[in-house]
Amino acid sequence: MRWEDREESSNVEDRRNSGGSSKGMRGMPSMGTLMFLWPVVQRLLKTKFGWAIIGVGAVAYFSGFNPLSMMTGNSAAPTNQVNDDKQARFISTVLADTEKVWGPIFKEHGATYIEPKMVLYRGSTTSGCGHASAQMGPFYCPADQKVYIDLGFFDELASKHNATGDFAQAYVLAHEVGHHIQNMEGTLSKVQKMKQQASGSKGQNQLQVRVELQADCYAGVWAHHAHKRFNILEQGDVEEALRAASAIGDDTLQKQAQGYVVPDAFTHGSAEQRVTWFRKGIKTGDITACNTGI
């Protein structure tokens, strides 16, 4: 996917570091680390040369390089930080693309697009919908109109589901933005009321599947217009998204987890369904084509 040197979204809360620190900043060392280093720091403070070493180390640390890796032999730490920051820049650029695509589409339909916020984190954080953890995967919270992305999910998408590539990640974000659009349209609240009237979990699950498939279709609509406007797609990109959609289909995940499939327990749709609706969106570029019966 072509994304380098393009505008990033300003609607990003970067909580990857302790305390939800701002983008590009590193958290302070832990108390345990400070106690470990204190005897060394005490000796350094007694000489001008020592003060110079401390100054250089501080500048390096807050520039993204961990001087402690030189002491521990963990040379991978700086590289991991660089890769993590690059991934954050990429997904922030994709978010900007969704803003530039959905704004005009809403305008064409006589409405105003309200841009969602995106929260980047690793491990866990808090949301308007409660506690968020890496195990939950990416999700959209209607209560605060924010998309929550644990960047570790993309690592898992590649390692556990063989869904590699940057456009696979773009598809995931576009799907969550699709839920934001459903929230603006009133679809999410409508479905919630329908679930309360549905008999049993089977009926509720079927309603949720329709919601998820429509979000897949919306992701395809975004990809259609984003490529038309910014020429983002490279060879193999669409296949990356389709592979990701298939990899996180309910039947695929159930087979991996328990060896068999229970269709009544589907909440996101089968691999075939997810692929079909994404294809419909990217082929037509028409939001009205994403009618999944809700």
Q: 216-259, pLDDT tens digit by residue?
A: 999 999 999 999 999 999 999 999 999 999 998 999 999 989 99
C-alpha dihedral (161, 166, 172, 178), degrees to nearest 10:
-160
pLDDT of residue 62: 56
- Output the pLDDT for position 36: 47
What total of structural domains would you count in the chain? 2
Cα-flanking dihedrals φ and ψ of residue 99, to 5°? -65, -40
| Per-residue b or e along 132-154, where b marks 16 or more CB atoms closer than 10 Å to that residue's CB | bebeebbebbbeeebbbbbbbbb
Q: Are residues 139 and 267 in the same domain?
A: yes
Distance CA 269, CA 228 (A): 28
- Provide the percentage of residues in the chain whose pLDDT is more than 70: 83
Strand partners, 12: 118
In a domain, 93, yes or no: yes
pTM of the model: 0.79
* Judgement on whether residues 69 and 84 belong to the same structural domain of the protein: no
Q: What is the pLDDT of residue 215?
A: 98
How many Cα atoms are found within 13 Å in the side-chain-facing hemisphere of 239? Answer: 4
Phi, psi angles (nearest 5°) of residue 42: -60, -45
Q: Are 52 and 185 part of one and the same domain?
A: no
Residues 39 and 157 in one domain: no
pLDDT of residue 40: 64
Rounded to whole angstroms, the Cα distance separating 251 from 265 reads 10
In terms of residue numbers, what domain contains 66?
A: 31-77
Name the pLDDT band for 10 (thresholds 50, 70, 90). Answer: very high
Q: What's the pLDDT tens digit per position in 63-109?
A: 555 554 444 444 444 558 888 899 999 999 999 999 999 999 999 99
- Within-domain flag for 38: yes
Round to whole Å and give the CA distance between 66 and 51: 18
> Contact 96/176 with Cβ under 8 angstroms?
no
Q: Is 132 helix (H, G, I), strand (E, B) or coil?
A: strand
**190, part of any domain:** yes
